[in-house]
């Protein structure tokens, strides 16, 4: 249901602006940019052509952690203090400009290799594709609960994402 709802609301929307919300280390250089991936402590915001702002943030609920997707800005409702990086130019060079396809990936709270019974699924990855331009953004949460953004799915796989532990819905 979550995937279908996201597809219904976001497919066809143009991305007008992008911001990363990170921990404020008071650095002037964009330390979030790590070559072929971006890593931020909190999440990202997308301003769309219909005037809406959508946020992707790491969330913890009980013993599980995953990505949360919100139809609102992150500050001030979800974050009180954060360093905001305006990365629209960066995304225009590398990422999607229009969302033409959405894919979600889910992972169990407790992975099978950790032993014990299967558990509830958490949103572990979101892929926003611009099929017209052949671009995409792969947004995942890592083991340190940082949000990573890849513009190449092969790099995300090299870092261990989208393995057999993930379930595509």
pTM: 0.85
Cis-peptide into 80, omega within 30 deg: no
- What is the rounded CA–CA span in Å between residue 11 and residue 75? 24
The domain total for the chain is: 1
Q: Which range among 20-24, 27-31, 116-120 has the greatest average pLDDT?
A: 20-24
Alpha-helical segments (H) within 51-162: 88-94, 153-158
- Where in the sequence is the domain holding 126, given as residue range(s)? 2-168
How confident is the model over 123-148, as pLDDT tens digits? 888 999 999 999 999 999 887 778 99
């Amino acid at each position: 249901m979550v995937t279908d709802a996201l597809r219904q609301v976001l497919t066809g929307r143009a991305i007008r602006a992008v911001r990363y919300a990170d921990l404020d280390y008071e650095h002037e250089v964009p330390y979030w940019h790590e070559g072929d991936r971006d890593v931020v402590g909190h999440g990202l915001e997308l301003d769309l052509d219909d005037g809406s702002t959508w946020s992707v943030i790491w969330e913890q609920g009980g013993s599980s952690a995953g990505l949360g997707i919100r139809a609102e800005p992150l500050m001030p409702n979800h974050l009180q203090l954060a360093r905001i990086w305006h990365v629209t130019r960066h995304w225009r060079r590398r990422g999607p400009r229009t969302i033409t396809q959405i894919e979600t990936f889910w992972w169990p709270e407790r992975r099978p290799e950790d032993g014990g019974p299967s558990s509830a699924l958490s949103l572990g990855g979101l892929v926003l594709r611009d099929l017209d331009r052949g671009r995409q953004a792969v947004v995942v949460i890592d083991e340190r609960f940082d949000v990573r953004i890849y513009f190449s799915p092969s790099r995300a796989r090299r870092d261990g994402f989208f393995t057999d532990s993930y379930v595509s819905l």
